[in-house]
Amino acid sequence: MLREALNLKKGDLVVFVGAGGKTSAMNRLAKELVDSGDTVIITTTTKIFPPLNLNSRLYLLENEKEGISHITFPEKPRILVLGKKINEEGKIVGLDRAQLKTIREKWPDTVILVEGDGAKGKPFKAPREYEPVIPFVATLVIPVLGIDSLGQPLDEAHFHGVEEMCLLTGLQRGDYLRPEDVAKILLHKKGYQKGVPPCARWIPLINKADTMHQRGQAMVLAEILKKAGVAQVLLGSVGIENSTVEVL
């Protein structure tokens, strides 16, 4: 289970960043937590579509005159989705750091799951200048990537934040992405080390390892990360229900 692989505790605030399965990972983790008897809040510091296939209740602060302090958990569902409003794209507009701090104080034992950037559905990206948006009270940051990004040419058809990927890796547009390039972006202080609170755990999730070949590629990347000092790397296909998540 993803929950067990992450060794989550009551009151953890988990931020998902990156591409290639953030939403799938967040929704799966929410289901596992609720099945284990926990309460869960899902929100974002950017914009997300309302979760699908989740037994959840959506609260929008523009409709809550008394603000966050007035919101209560219903008996069922045990998942609250919180946002400011729904925009013209049909997305939930997320909360700022101060609002997340208030939520943390109101529900100290609830696990809060936050999506911290966008990726336009691509399997990998590099953070742009204003990304990711990670709350100061985060206890765990999970950079997610799709292993199907390896071997793809560096262009907007395959990746998000191509300019930033070139800057962080030294690659040129059209070059093919290798495991060592992904590792550079994950480990770079302007990549996925950016904005991580000093006391937060940082656990990369290599997703979409659906075939033996993809698992082999994922193991190569994981080995590079482990040699660089990363304490823990997760490997799996989180979009497949009940699939195994390996801890490396």
Lowest mean pLDDT among 50-64, 88-102, 219-233: 50-64
Give the model's pLDDT for residue 170: 94
The yes-or-no verdict on residue 121 having pLDDT over 90 is no
The pLDDT of residue 186 is 96
What pLDDT shows up at residue 55?
84
DSSP secondary-structure letter at 171? -
Which pLDDT tens digit goes with each residue over 195-237? 999 999 999 999 998 888 999 999 999 999 999 999 999 999 9
Q: 234, 245 in Cβ contact below 8 A? A: yes
pTM for the whole thing? 0.93
Cα separation, 103 vs 50, whole angstroms: 19
- CATH architecture under which domain 2-43+115-247 falls: 3-Layer(aba) Sandwich (3.40)
What integer best gives the mean pLDDT of the chain?
Answer: 91
Tell me the chain's radius of gyration from C-alpha atoms.
18
Which positions ≥6 away from 11 have C-beta within 8 Å?
104, 108, 109, 110, 111, 139
Whether pLDDT at 93 is above 80: yes
- The label of the residue with tokens 């940051």 reads 141
Give the residues across from 93 on adjacent strands: 47, 85
Domain spans in the chain, listed from the N-terminal domain onward: 2-43+115-247
Indicate the DSSP class of residue 175. Answer: P
Classify burial at 91, counting beta carbons within 10 Å of its beta carbon; exposed 0-12, middle 13-18, buried 19 or more: middle
Q: pLDDT tens, 7-26?
A: 999 999 999 999 999 999 99
pLDDT at residue 61, as a whole number: 86
For residue 50, the 8-state DSSP code is P
**Residue 41: pLDDT band with limits 50, 70, 90:** very high
